[in-house]
Amino acid sequence: MMQATAFEFRNRWWLFGVIFGAGFFLLAFDHVPLGARIADRLATAARLPEPLALHIVFGGAALIMLAAALVRAWGSAYLGREVVHDHALHSEALKADGPYRHVRNPLYFGNVLMSWAASLFAPVIGGPLIVIGVLLFCYRLIGREEGALEAEQGESYRTFKRAVPRLWPSLRARLPASGSAPDWISGLAAEAFFMSFALGVVGFAISLNVLWFYAGWLASPLLSWLAGLAVQKRGRFVGHASKE
């Protein structure tokens, strides 16, 4: 399986940004988002008012974006914010609880879902560029991570690979629960970036005001930074309490 380079893995967030940025940049040449074109066809075919068709199409995008953020938060609740945002590759532990009983890479599955929703805000050419670009890059990153995990953990990881799908989840859990407890505060803090995107899309789907969409994207770094500070303070408080 194709594997990302060390450079790609270290800079994966920037490279995801490049993929999304390239898709949205094409709005400079085609000013009509893909979702608006789909809504126009829906309005014509179903004889709906144009605003209602827009609410339906972008309401669907909002639901997909919320699902993406929640899937990522569920996975991050088992990994912890430090691992999710670390530039280094972690292969010392195998997580086989929560969403990892259904899919080996729930965070990347969340990225794929997000690309589907975001593509509706890009033009006709930009939408497929985002969806295909994110999917291929996720597979490259998965190849690198799984190669390291297999080298580190050997047969235990190969057994996990045989039982659980790589990227497309199984509705039925493929492994018994191991009893690990999720840390939802850490998980939600890790995904504050994506939660901000999702809220921006929800705001647009309700109001049809594009400022909500851009506000969600622009606010995401600030919310992620604030969430990181909150988790750090929580860690210091817990550590101080345990010493007492």
17-39 pLDDT, tens digit each? 999 999 999 999 999 999 999 99
Q: How far is CA 146 from CA 53, 104, 178, 227, 231, in A?
A: 42, 9, 20, 29, 28
Is position 1 within any domain? Answer: no
Element (H, E) at 173: none
- Top-confidence residue, 87 or 130: 130
Is 67 part of any domain? yes
Domain enclosing residue 135, as ranges:
6-170+178-183
- Provide the pLDDT confidence category of residue 151 given band limits of 50, 70 and 90: confident
192 within a domain of the structure (yes/no)? no
Cα distances (angstroms) measured from residue 229 to each of 129, 195, 216: 35, 17, 20
* Residue 201 forms part of a structural domain: no
Average pLDDT over residues 215-226: 85
Q: Is residue 214 in a domain?
A: no
At 75-101, the pLDDT tens digits run 999 887 555 444 445 544 566 788 999
What is the largest distance, in Å, between two alpha-carbon atoms of the chain? 68
Kindly state whether residue 207 falls inside one of the protein's structural domains: no
pLDDT tier at 179, thresholds 50, 70, 90: confident
Residue 219 lies in a domain: no
Domain count, the chain: 1
Contact 152/92 with Cβ under 8 angstroms? yes
Instruction: Report whether pLDDT(60) > 60.
Output: yes
Pairwise CA distance, residues 138 & 145, whole Å:
10
